[in-house]
């Protein structure tokens, strides 16, 4: 298939690379052109502009930071698409997803909402979990691409269902990460070896592979970005907004967003989300 990938950051770059390696004809566009250029050696053709990337494509993928980026880029892409499906992989929440679905409808373009679960390494390994939703008649067209980028695809219903599940998952993820950060910060303050805490929960019902993974980063103070903290904060805010829309108040998530915001304001926004521990250390 001819595929355009718009946005080649932490997630978009390996997705484009894997699609090209699987034999698809991939063109990529990125706001900072150097990131798309860097994919040329991996069989991905860099495009200088959005229209050039999407022209002649069968499927156009967006993998961008947030809703404003997706709405702006999709708007430009839709105007140049002819017969392609728009597949939106970024995490932008249900409200913005509904707006992009409207943009696509107005342009006569089928729209698939497909945020992904999994971070940098699963993206590199083609092992993401794809939370797909959209019209039944285009599912067979996009499934071969999902089979390349993901280990699993769930078709969840009409467009928007994927984005709703994604916010539920990230509410859990943020709670897990912040809980871990505070347990480790408390261990440090009480002169308890944080590794002893991790060893104690390991393998039991309170343990989680994620605790070992992110706990190591927190203890070592080294935060190479898999999932940048500023994007985790964005997702916390999206979940709070979606909850408020339903008359629901999520007090713990509000506090987590506050903590993450403090760490972002202290300059850790581009570090991995595990860097939220900075807000809990005295
Ligand atoms: N990383 C993860 O673990 C993970 C996992 C699941 C889902 N996600 C979601 O996937 C999306 C992408 O995440 P990522 O980790 O790949 O982020 P990233 O590395 O920060 O990449 C963000 C991308 O968005 C582009 N961008 C930002 N603002 C833009 C704008 N106004 N106009 C055009 N392009 C813009 C950036 O372009 P520049 O290069 O020019 O800045 C870059 O290509 C996000 O919605 C994120 O929440 C991430």
Look at residue 282 in the predicted model and tell me its pLDDT. Answer: 75
Q: Which amino acid residue places its CA nearest to atom 32 of ligand 1? A: 69
Ordered DSSP codes for the chain? -EEEEE--STTHHHHHHHHHHTT-EEEEE-SSHHHHHTTGGGTPEE-SSHHHHHTT-SEEEE--SSHHHHHHHHHHHHHH-SSPEEEE-S--HHHHHHHHHHHHHHHT--EEE--EE--HHHHHHT-EEEEEBS-GGGHHHHHHHHHHHEEEEEE-SSTTHHHHHHHHHHHHHHHHHHHHHHHHHHHHHTT--HHHHHHHHTTSTT--HHHHHHHHHHHHT----SSBHHHHHHHHHHHHHHHHHTT---HHHHHHHHHHHHHIIIIITTSBGGGGGGGT--
Task: Tell me the CA–centroid distance for residue 191 and ligand 1, in Å.
Answer: 38
**Pocket probe mutation, ligand 1, options 5, 6, 8, 11, max atoms within 8 Å of Cβ:** 11
CB distance 227 to ligand 1 below 6 Å:
yes
* Alpha carbon separation from 202 to 196, 212, 220, 225 (Å, rounded): 10, 8, 19, 24
Band of pLDDT at residue 199, cut at 50, 70 and 90: very high
89 Cα nearest atom in ligand 1: 10
* CA–CA dist 74, 104 (Å, integer): 8
The predicted-structure confidence for 224-247, as pLDDT tens digits, reads as follows 999 999 999 999 999 999 999 999
Q: Is the pTM for the entire model greater than 0.85? A: yes
CB distance 29 to ligand 1 below 6 Å:
no
Q: Summarize the confidence of residues 200-205 as an average pLDDT.
A: 97
Q: Let me know: does 99 contact 124? Beta carbons within 8 Å.
A: no
CB distance 216 to ligand 1 below 6 Å:
no
Look at residue 85 in the predicted model and tell me its pLDDT. Answer: 98
Look at residue 263 in the predicted model and tell me its pLDDT. Answer: 98
The predicted-structure confidence for 242-280, as pLDDT tens digits, reads as follows 999 999 999 999 999 999 999 999 999 999 999 999 999
The overall average pLDDT reported for the chain is 98
CB distance 116 to ligand 1 below 6 Å:
yes
CB distance 7 to ligand 1 below 6 Å:
yes
Q: Let me know: does 152 contact 166? Beta carbons within 8 Å.
A: no
Look at residue 269 in the predicted model and tell me its pLDDT. Answer: 98
Look at residue 259 in the predicted model and tell me its pLDDT. Answer: 98
* Alpha carbon separation from 193 to 64, 182, 186, 225 (Å, rounded): 39, 14, 10, 25
The predicted-structure confidence for 162-197, as pLDDT tens digits, reads as follows 999 999 999 999 999 999 999 999 999 999 999 999
CB distance 217 to ligand 1 below 6 Å:
no
CB distance 150 to ligand 1 below 6 Å:
no
* CA–CA dist 221, 181 (Å, integer): 12
Q: Which amino acid residue places its CA nearest to atom 5 of ligand 1? A: 119
Ordered DSSP codes for 119-153? -HHHHHHT-EEEEEBS-GGGHHHHHHHHHHHEEEE
Indicate the length of the chain as a whole number.
282
Q: Which amino acid residue places its CA nearest to atom 15 of ligand 1? A: 10
The predicted-structure confidence for 47-94, as pLDDT tens digits, reads as follows 999 999 999 999 999 999 999 999 999 999 999 999 999 999 999 999
Band of pLDDT at residue 221, cut at 50, 70 and 90: very high
């Amino acid at each position: 298939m001819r595929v355009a990938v718009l946005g080649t950051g932490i997630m978009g770059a390996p997705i484009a690379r894997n699609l090209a390696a699987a034999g698809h004809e991939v063109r990529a566009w990125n706001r900072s052109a150097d990131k798309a250029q860097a994919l040329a050696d991996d069989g991905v053709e860099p495009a200088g502009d959005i229209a050039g990337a999407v022209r002649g494509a069968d499927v156009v993928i967006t993998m961008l930071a947030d809703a404003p980026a997706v709405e702006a880029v999709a708007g430009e892409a839709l105007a140049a698409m002819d017969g392609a499906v728009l597949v939106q992989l970024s995490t932008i929440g249900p409200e913005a997803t509904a707006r992009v679905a409207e943009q696509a409808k107005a342009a006569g373009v089928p729209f698939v909402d497909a945020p992904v679960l999994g971070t940098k390494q699963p993206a590199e390994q083609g092992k993401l979990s794809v939370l797909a939703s959209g019209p039944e008649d285009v599912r067979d067209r996009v499934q071969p691409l999902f089979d390349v980028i993901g280990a699993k695809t769930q078709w969840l219903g009409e467009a928007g269902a994927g984005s709703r599940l994604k916010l539920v998952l990230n509410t859990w993820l943020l709670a897990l990460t912040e809980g871990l950060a505070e347990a480790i910060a408390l261990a440090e303050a009480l002169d308890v070896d944080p590794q002893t805490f991790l060893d104690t929960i390991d393998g039991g019902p309170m343990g989680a592979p994620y605790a070992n993974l992110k706990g190591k980063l927190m203890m070592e103070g080294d935060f190479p970005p898999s999932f940048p903290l500023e994007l985790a904060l964005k997702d916390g805010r999206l979940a709070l907004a979606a909850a408020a829309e339903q008359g629901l108040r999520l007090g713990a998530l509000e506090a987590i967003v506050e903590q993450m915001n403090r760490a972002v304001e202290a300059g850790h926004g581009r570090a991995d989300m595990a860097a939220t521990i900075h807000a809990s250390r005295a």
